[in-house]
Amino acid sequence: MNQKIYQVDAFASKLYEGNPAGVCVLDKWISDDLMQRIAMENNLAETAFLVADADESYRLRWFTPTVEVDLCGHATLAASHILYTEYGYHRDTIVFNTKSGVLNVQKYDANLYMMDFPSDEPLKVEAYDHIAHVMNVNANECYRGKDDYLLILEDEQSVVGAQPDLGAMSSIDSRGIILSAVGDEKDFVSRCFFPNVGVDEDPVTGSAHTLLTPYWAKKLAKNKLKARQLSHRGGDIDCIYKGARVSLIGSAVTYLSGMINIEDNGI
């Protein structure tokens, strides 16, 4: 069978920035194994697969090259962008049913999209020397979210200059580790490392900002924040803390559209 596929630079206002995501809008579900193989072949941080429901909502799933994940912000943004630009979606809000519950995405302004996600409230970790050692950093604080550890560093340059031991991260029981600090020009900056799920350093991570936003909103005593992820590609996210929910605002640019030839033998 032939399947349309798109690649989108999410959290980017122009090509070759932000975080690339694959998007496949399926007529019906294919096997989990095949979705995983397609994600592996794409070799992007995530590939999003979605199927329309009768009420114009969508079932949405995300795969890294090695595993399925419960939440992915940039691939949700990419999927929304493709629905609006390539599939003529006409409603103000897209409703996605996912492993993380119902996620709503609105066309915010021109090429901007606002995603509504559950907050991931940080829990303070007292003993974290082993985590800081793996990341080769001096950390002021450590927190744990649902999936990731968050290390707070002294300043933006400490985040930029960090050289973690990615191999040693397999000893840490988490999806990944986030480094963050107050930004020089933004409210806060970050870098995100997820080698345990097949992504050494993620270019721009929407799901990480569901943890970062509650922390920095309380630390800086403001609910609207501007953030930048300091990967090689880099990307900007506007964040709004709403207590139990977080809104993440970003733009997206379509890089590629094509057709893949796939076979699904039910394996």
172/79 same-domain check: no
Please, are residues 191 and 162 in contact by the beta-carbon 8 Å criterion? yes
96/183 same-domain check: no
Considering the chain, what percentage of its residues have pLDDT values greater than 90? 94
Give the range among 52-56, 112-116, 125-129, 212-216 with minimum mean pLDDT. 52-56
Residue 229 counted as domain residue: yes
85/26 same-domain check: yes
* Most distant pair of Cα atoms in the chain: their distance: 54
Question: Is the pLDDT assigned to residue 109 strictly greater than 90?
Answer: no
Q: Who has greater pLDDT, 111 or 55?
A: 55
106/178 same-domain check: no
Structural domain tally of the chain? 2
pLDDT at residue 1, rounded to an integer: 84
Residue 257 counted as domain residue: yes
The owner of tokens 């031991």 is 165
Which residues are CB-contacts of 41 (< 8 A; sequence separation ≥ 6)?
A: none
99/179 same-domain check: no
pLDDT, mean of residues 221-227: 98
133/152 same-domain check: yes
Question: Is the pLDDT assigned to residue 212 strictly greater than 70?
Answer: yes
215/176 same-domain check: yes
166/62 same-domain check: no
Residue 161: CA count within 13 A, CB half-sphere? 8
137/231 same-domain check: yes
pLDDT at residue 267, rounded to an integer: 44
CATH code for the domain of 40: 3.10.310.10
Active-site hit among 17, 46, 156, 201: 46
Please, are residues 62 and 68 in contact by the beta-carbon 8 Å criterion? yes
pLDDT, mean of residues 44-55: 96
Model confidence at 265, pLDDT cuts 50, 70, 90, reads low
Residue 266 counted as domain residue: no
List pLDDT tens digits, range 58-97.
999 999 999 999 999 999 999 999 999 999 998 999 999 9
Question: Is the pLDDT assigned to residue 266 strictly greater than 60?
Answer: no
- Let me know if 46 is a catalytic residue: yes
Residue 22 counted as domain residue: yes
Note down the domain range covering 198: 123-239
Q: Classify 78 as helix, strand or coil.
A: helix
pLDDT at residue 264, rounded to an integer: 61
203/145 same-domain check: yes
33/109 same-domain check: yes
What's the DSSP call for residue 170? G
Residue 244 counted as domain residue: no
Residue 267 counted as domain residue: no
